[in-house]
Amino acid sequence: MAIPKVAIIIVNWNGLKDTHECLDTVKKISYSNYEVVVVDNGSEKYDADILEKIFKDEIIIIRSRENLGFAGGNNIGMRYALERGAEYILLLNNDTAVDKNFLSEMVDAASADKNIGMVGPKIYFYSDLNRIWFAGGKINRLLTKGEMVGYGQIDKGQYDTAKETDFITGCCLLVKKQVIEKIGFLPEEYFLYYEDTDWCLNARRNGFKCVYAPKAEIWHKASVGLGLGSPAYIYYNVRNGLLLAKRNASAGLMSIVYLDSIWRIVKQIFKYIFIPSKRAWAKFIFKGIEDFYLGRTGKYIM
């Protein structure tokens, strides 16, 4: 039986050290039929040149002149990979380290059912090797937020069963080419955050299953790029959560979402006036909600 060709897409943005470490773990994997495509997403220094020199013929480097965000950067790599005959595409964050068998386990899981379109692994915190970061995903009732199952829990085997899940995180996501051929590439309106959740919802609407495969394991450094609580992190999570609902919710549900966003504005006004330490966060929450209502998508210029 032929082993499916997998293209591993890694987007680098000013993350030379992390990308180098990630590639060092990837080249040790047991899966035999794969190629690695690194998309340098407008890095400010010479990351692409250095990686090309270090890894030579082991990787393919694609250079983007500007930062196109998570979706834009990965889409460049996916288009290239499909043109070269990839049957599966793996999106992999550059701030990860992988188990040598992770890709074999993910391909086995995807191959078990023709209706499985996307597969995700069990993901641990890089800084705490047995603490779970992702063991499946749930989307809240308003379709404004994706929540990671098992987040922060010590792994005691409680998430060792493969199962269907609402979404797979783009931190590590295996997708069949048939899914992309049917639903298209990652939606670039988000620029950063929630594009993976939207993509999974779209795949499920079109008859594909999203499956969590716990035997596949990787470790994630978690928000190294922007940092939890940074202005950009807050802005994109607020704006894109509302955008996710708009693109996927019914008209009736969106009415509730709009009311919920108004209530969030009221709460932030309270914090802005009475809790000085929260004023910085409130500003970017306001901005995220404002830009959503004004129809502003893509990259946010600080």
pLDDT per position as a tens digit, 99-136: 999 999 999 999 999 999 999 999 999 999 999 999 99
pLDDT band at 146 (very low <50, low <70, confident <90, very high): confident
Residue with tokens 């800084």: 127
Query: At 144, which amino acid appears?
Result: T
Residue 170 above 90 pLDDT? Answer: yes
In 3-state terms, what secondary structure has residue 212?
strand
Average of per-residue pLDDT values in the chain: 92
pLDDT of residue 131: 97
Q: What are the pLDDT digits (tens) for 14-64? A: 999 999 999 999 999 999 999 999 999 999 999 999 999 999 999 999 999
Can you tell me the distance from the alpha carbon of 238 to that of 215, in angstroms, rounded to the nearest whole number?
33
Going 54 to 96 to 38 to 179, the CA torsion angle's sign is positive
In 3-state terms, what secondary structure has residue 249?
coil
Fold of the CATH domain 6-220: Spore Coat Polysaccharide Biosynthesis Protein SpsA; Chain A (3.90.550)
Average pLDDT, integer, range 254-269: 80
Query: At 41, which amino acid appears?
Result: N
302 Cβ partners below 8 Å, 6+ apart? 231, 232
What pTM did the predictor assign?
0.93
Residue 1 above 70 pLDDT? Answer: no
Average pLDDT, integer, range 217-221: 97
